[in-house]
Chains A and B, each alone.
Chain A
Amino acid sequence: MTKLIEEETIVGSTYRITELIKAMEKRAWADRSSEWFTKDMFKKIGIEHPDKPVIVRRALAIDEILKAMTNKNLFKGNNPHYQIRDGELIVGVITLGSLGLGKSFPIYLTPSELDITSVSTKSEMGLFGHDSVNYDVMLALGLDGIIADCNKELSATEHKINHYDNLLNYCSKVESDDTFLKEIHQLKSNGKATATIESLKEIFEEHDENKGNRTKAYDSNLKDLFEILETHIHTNFNDISKARKSKQEKTSLPHLKQIREIIAENTNILHNRRDFYNSVKISCQAVIDYAGQFSKLAKEMSLVEKDPIRKAELIEISGICSKVPAKPASTFYEALQSIYFFHLALHSSMSQLSLGRLDQVLQPYYKKEEHEKQQELFECFLIKCAERLILDSNTFIKQDHVDFGSNLLTIPVALDQWSESNEFLQNIIIGGQTRDGKNAVNDCTYLILKAFQKTKLYTPTLNARIYKEQMDGSKESNKYLNAIAECLYETKNGMPVIGNDEVLVPAMHKFSGIPLEEARDYVIDGCWEPLLNGSCDWTFRMFNMLTALECALNGGATLSSNPILLRGQKLTYETPLPAVDTSIDFEEFKNIFKKHIKFFTDNSALSIHMLYLVDQAVNPDPLYSALLKGCMKTGRDKTWGGADYKLAGIIPAAVPDTVNTLTAIKKWVYDKKEFELADVLDAFRSSYISSNKVQQEKFNRIKLKFQTDSPKFGNNDKESVDMMQWLLNTFYDCVKTSQALAQEVFLYPPKKGDEERIKSLRALAGYAGKSLKEEFGDNFMIHITAGMGTFELFDIFGGGNAASADRNKAGDPIARNFAPMVGTTKFSIGHLLSSFKTLGLNRFAGGVITDLCLEERDLEKNGPEIIKSVIQNFMLNEGNMMTITISDKKLLGLIYDLCEKNRNGDPEAKKELKKYEHVSVRVGGFQMPYVTLPPAMQKSYIDRPMPPVG
Chain B
Amino acid sequence: MKILKYFDISWFSSVDGPGTRVVLYLLGCNLRCPWCHSPHSWESSSPLLYFESRCTKCGECVDICPNGVHEVSNGVHLVNHSQCNHCGACIEICPSSDINKWNTSALGFAGKDIEVSELYQLLKPQLDLLKHIGGLTVSGGDPLVQSKALAELLKICTADGIHTTVETSATLNKKHIEELLPYVNHWLIGLRPSRTDKVEDWKQLLSNIQLLAAHNPNQITIRTPIIPGYTDTQIGYDMIIEVMRANGIKSIEILPYNPYSENYYKAMGLKYPLEGIQLPSNEELIGIKGVFTSAGINAKIIA
Contacts and interface: CB of A to CB of B under 8 A. Distances in A.
Interface of A: 700, 704, 708-709, 716, 826-831, 833-834, 858, 860-862, 865-866, 868-870, 872-873, 876, 947-948, 950
B64 to A, nearest CB: 13
Contacts of B12: 828, 858, 866, 947
Contacts of A716: 125
Given A833-B129, A862-B14, A870-B129, A708 B100 contact: yes
Interface in B98-140: 98-101, 103-104, 122, 124-134
A615 B95 CA distance: 54
Contacts of A829: 11, 126, 129
Interface string B214-240: 000000000000000000000000000
Given A866-B20, A869-B129, 8 more contacts: A828-B11, A830-B124, A830-B129, A831-B125, A858-B14, A866-B130, A869-B130, A947-B12
B99 A834 contact: no
Contact of B100 (A826, A830, A869, A870): A826
Contacts of A876: 128
Contact of B125 (A700, A834, A868, A872): A834
Contacts of B130: 830, 866, 869
Contacts of B124: 830, 834
B117 to A, nearest CB: 15
A705 to B, nearest CB: 10
Contacts of B270: none
B279 interface: no
Interface in B123-164: 124-134
B101 A708 contact: yes
A708 B20 contact: no
A830 B15 contact: no
12 contacts: A709-B99, A716-B125, A828-B11, A830-B124, A830-B125, A830-B127, A833-B125, A858-B14, A861-B15, A861-B20, A866-B20, A869-B130
A868 B127 CA distance: 15
B126 A830 contact: yes
Given A708-B98, A947-B12, A834 B128 contact: yes
Contacts of B9: 827
Nearest to A948: B104
A869 B132 CA distance: 8
A861 B133 CA distance: 12
Given A834-B128, A873-B128, A709 B100 contact: yes
A84 B167 CA distance: 63
A834 B20 CA distance: 18
A826 B105 CA distance: 13
Nearest to A834: B125
A229 to B, nearest CB: 75
A830 B11 contact: yes
B15 A827 contact: no
A862 B125 contact: no
Interface string B246-276: 0000000000000000000000000000000
A827 B99 contact: no
Contact of A860 (B14, B100, B101, B133): B14
A827 B125 contact: yes
Contacts of A830: 11, 124-130
B147 to A, nearest CB: 26
Interface string B175-217: 0000000000000000000000000000000000000000000
Nearest to B8: A950
A714 to B, nearest CB: 11
Nearest to A707: B98
A947 B133 contact: no
B129 A862 contact: no
A861 B14 contact: yes
Nearest to B121: A716
Q: Closest 8 interchain pairs by CB? A: A830-B126, A828-B11, A861-B14, A830-B125, A830-B129, A834-B125, A708-B98, A873-B129
A709 B98 contact: yes
B126 A831 contact: yes
B68 interface: no
B296 interface: no
B133 A862 contact: yes
Interface in B48-100: 95, 98-100
Contacts of B98: 708-709
Contacts of A708: 98-101
Contacts of B11: 827-830, 947
B133 A827 contact: no
B90 to A, nearest CB: 13
B287 interface: no
Contacts of A862: 14, 19-20, 133-134
Nearest to A831: B125
A870 B132 CA distance: 11
B132 A827 contact: no
B95 to A, nearest CB: 6
Contact of B103 (A828, A860, A950): A950
A74 B133 CA distance: 60
A55 B129 CA distance: 53
Contacts of B129: 828-830, 833, 869-870, 873
B101 to A, nearest CB: 7
Given A700-B95, A866-B133, A827 B14 contact: no
Nearest to A701: B93
Contacts of B122: 827
Nearest to B60: A700
Q: Name the residue in B12, B22, B122, B131 with the highest tally of chain A Cβ atoms < 10 Å from its Cβ.
A: B12
A46 to B, nearest CB: 58
